[in-house]
Every structure is written in structure tokens, then in C-alpha cells.
């Protein structure tokens, strides 16, 4: 079922009522969803059937059961930025994740987004939601639908504005596609969380002179890292099957096809792995480097337990 939700709808459904009280608890719940596997285990499923590759990667990372307990309400955050090839999360990957969440007994599964329905249709992701019978909750870009979340450790960003509906869930599965980005050179699990933050707040990531002033340039990447301090997915399932390595994030661009799905809880390790897939040095990607320095994960892949395998 697809619903586009405006401010009135949100209040009417009662989802917004009592939100302020619930905020701290819900955030703590979603953020402290402690995985049962070691944080820096990264599972990589490989193969031309991307759905099966996703299943293999999740199994290698510990299995969905380790991240989504029975009865959980699960929010999925896919990337639907553009319908151009190699720019959006593949429908097969989404289908597998939904299927595994169902299998472990998730009570509720919804895709959350403030992108328009057309992009969900054009990318084939809406069809998956419809076929699997999970919710597709699309929100208007209305600031009242986002809630302020302080970032005590924030260096550049002191307050995020997170989609209020997110706090109705107790598990978040972050589902980006890794690809080129003209602004940051790379995008993956860290940057995808901007999809939960309000568009208006996201604009503050770009300071007036962010293209010419070194301090302002650093502000953009630091803001991404700060956002990641308060939104901590229970699991990241990164589509590295076919993605653009030029003209990102929108494309069209040159496609690189490693046929991999990369899964784990350590966003820094995952992004480091994905960046290295196409010859980038993780330390050269400012958001990865800063996230590592600020304790969000491991940039050194030699210290990561990497489990790669083909599906059979």
C-alpha cells in the first residue's frame, strides 16, 4: 500500500501525537539496536542474481535474525534518487530484504521516503512493495513532518531533523546503492541517511561558500558524520551490484558491475570496502575518514572480518 502523507494526515493518524514524549525512547531503541554479531563483520554476497547475492551477504553477516527480532517494526531506507541505470537500489535486493524480514517474523515492514511516488514507480521499487504487500510511506517535504534531534557530539551539525515516522519503528535497515557523487566523490551507507533527514536541514550541510572555502567544504562531510552519530541503522544492505562511477549521483554514467551486495553494521567498514571496489582510497573520502576518526567504525579493512562468497 502506498500513501503520500502530509502534515494533516500525520496528525490525524495519531502517529504525531505523543511523539515528543516518545522521541527519546524511540530514538534510543532504534539506535541501540545492538547487533548480535561483532560490529565489524562485513558480509559480501556475489553473483549475477542480485536477490540471491543479497541473501548470501545477509547470511554471511550473521543472518537477518541477528538484526531483526520477531515482532519488530522495520523501516527500510532505499535509494530512489534517479531511474538511470546504476543509480538506485535494485528491486531484487529490496525484495530479498523484505522476504527475510518476513521470514524472521517482523510485525511490520515499511519503506520510508520523502521522494515522490514517480521515482518509486520508475525505479521498480514500488512494484516490489506492492507485490510483497509492505507499506510504502511517502512524505511531503513538510518540515512539520520532521522532528528535531539534538546531536550532542555534533561538530558541524548540532541538530538533525529526522522524519518523525521513523520513531514508530524499532529497526532501521539502511539500503543505499554505492556510487559516484560529484560533491563528495563517493556515496554509500553514511550519506544515504540524509534520506531520513529533512531536505531543509540537509541544505544546511552546504554552507554558503562550501565550494570555495576549505572550512565550508569540510562542513558538508562533517555534517554527514554528525547525522550518523544519532541515526544508527540496525543493518546496512548496500547495493554494489551495478553502479555508476561517473556523473553521480544522478547519472547517466559509466557503469561498474562488481555484482556484490555488502552487508553489516559498521558503516565505515562497509563504505571503505565499497570505495575500494572501484579504486578509491577510503582515507581520501573525507566522510569516511572523519567517521572513522570520530569512532563510527573501522576504516582499515585489514581489521575487519570480511566474509565474501558467491551464492549457490
Partner 1 sequence: MSEIRRWGPALALAAVLLAGAWTAPGREGQDTLRSLLPADGTIPGWSKDGDPQEFVGEDLYTYIDGGAEIYQEYGFRRVIVQDYNGAAGRSVSLELFEMATPAAAYGMYTFKRSGQGRIVPLGSGAELEDYYLNLWKGRFLATLTGFDATPPTIEGLLAVAAAVEKNLRDGAGVPGLVAALPGEGLKPQSVKYLRGLLGLNNVYPFYTARGLAFAEAVKGDYEDGASLIALDYGSAEARAKAWAELETSIKSGDRFKKTEVRGASLPLYLDGRGRYAAFVEAGSRLFVALGPVPEAVLGLAALAVR
**Chain positions contacting partner 1, by CB under 8 A:** 81-85, 115, 181-183, 185, 187, 194, 199, 206, 211-214, 217, 246-255, 284
| Secondary structure, 3-state, 94-118 | HHHHHHHHHHCCCCEEEEEECCCHH
* Residue 159 CB, nearest approach to partner 1 (Å): 21
Minimum Å gap between C-beta 125 and partner 1 is: 15
Q: Minimum distance between the CB of residue 222 and partner 1, rounded to whole angstroms?
A: 15
45 or 248: CB nearest partner 1 = 248
- 99 CB-contact burial (10 Å; exposed 0-12 / middle 13-18 / buried 19+): middle
The rounded radius of gyration (Å) of the Cα atoms in the chain is: 18
Q: Which of 84, 85, 81, 110 is nearest to 97 (CA)?
A: 110
Q: Which helix (H) or strand (E) holds 129?
A: helix 125-132
Minimal distance in Å, beta carbon 58 to partner 1?
27
Task: CB nearer to partner 1: give 217 or 227.
Answer: 217
Closer Cβ to partner 1, 284 or 300, answer by number: 284
Rank residues 40 and 81 by Cβ distance to partner 1 and give the closer one.
Answer: 81
CA distances from 219 to 147, 157, 184, 242, 248 (A): 22, 8, 12, 30, 20
Q: How far is the CB of 224 from partner 1 (least distance, A)?
A: 11
Instruction: Write down the least CB distance from residue 257 to partner 1, Å.
Output: 11
Name the grid cell of 245: 562511477
CA gap 78, 196 in Å, rounded: 10
Nearer CB in complex with partner 1: 63/210? 210
Nearer to partner 1 (CB atom), residue 39 or residue 199: 199
CA–CA distance, 252 with 244 (Å, rounded to integer) = 7
For residue 296, the tally of other CB atoms under 10 A from its CB is: 21
Cα 213 from Cα 206, distance rounded (Å): 11
Amino acid at each position: 500500500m502506498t500513501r503520500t502523507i502530509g502534515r494533516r494526515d500525520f496528525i490525524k493518524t495519531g502517529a504525531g501525537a505523543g511523539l515528543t514524549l516518545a522521541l527519546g525512547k524511540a530514538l534510543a531503541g532504534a539506535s541501540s539496536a545492538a547487533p548480535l554479531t561483532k560490529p565489524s563483520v562485513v558480509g559480501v554476497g556475489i553473483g549475477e542474481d542480485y536477490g540471491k547475492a543479497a541473501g548470501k551477504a545477509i547470511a554471511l553477516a550473521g543472518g537477518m535474525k541477528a538484526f531483526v527480532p520477531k515482532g519488530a517494526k522495520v523501516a527500510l531506507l532505499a535509494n530512489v534518487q534517479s531511474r538511470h541505470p546504476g543509480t538506485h537500489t535494485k528491486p531484487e535486493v529490496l525484495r530479498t530484504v523484505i522476504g527475510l524480514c518476513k521470514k524472521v517474523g517482523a510485525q511490520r515492514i515499511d519503506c520510508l521516503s520523502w521522494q515522490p511516488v514517480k521515482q518509486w514507480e520508475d525505479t521498480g521499487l514500488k512494484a516490489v512493495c506492492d507485490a510483497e504487500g509492505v507499506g510504502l510511506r511517502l512524505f511531503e517535504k513538510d518540515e512539520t513532518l520532521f522532528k528535531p534531534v539534538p546531536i550532542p557530539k555534533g561538530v558541524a551539525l548540532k541538530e538533525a531533523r529526522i522524519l518523525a515516522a521513523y520513531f514508530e519503528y524499532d529497526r532501521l535497515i539502511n539500503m543505499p546503492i554505492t556510487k559516484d557523487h560529484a560533491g563528495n566523490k563517493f556515496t554509500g551507507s553514511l550519506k544515504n541517511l540524509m534520506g531520513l533527514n529533512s531536505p531543509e536541514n540537509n541544505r544546511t550541510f552546504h554552507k554558503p561558500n562550501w565550494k570555495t572555502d576549505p572550512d565550508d567544504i569540510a562542513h558538508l562531510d562533517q555534517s554527514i558524520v554528525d547525522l550518523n552519530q544519532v541515526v544508527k541503522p540496525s543493518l546496512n544492505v548496500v547495493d554494489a551490484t551495478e553502479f555508476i562511477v561517473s556523473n553521480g549521483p544522478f547519472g547517466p554514467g559509466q557503469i561498474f558491475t562488481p555484482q556484490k551486495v555488502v552487508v553489516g553494521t559498521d558503516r565505515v567498514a562497509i563504505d571503505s570496502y565499497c570505495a575500494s571496489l572501484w579504486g578509491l582510497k577510503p582515507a581520501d573520502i573525507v566522510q569516511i575518514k572523519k567517521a572513522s576518526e570520530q569512532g563510527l567504525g573501522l576504516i582499515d579493512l585489514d581489521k575487519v572480518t570480511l566474509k565474501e562468497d558467491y551464492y549457490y
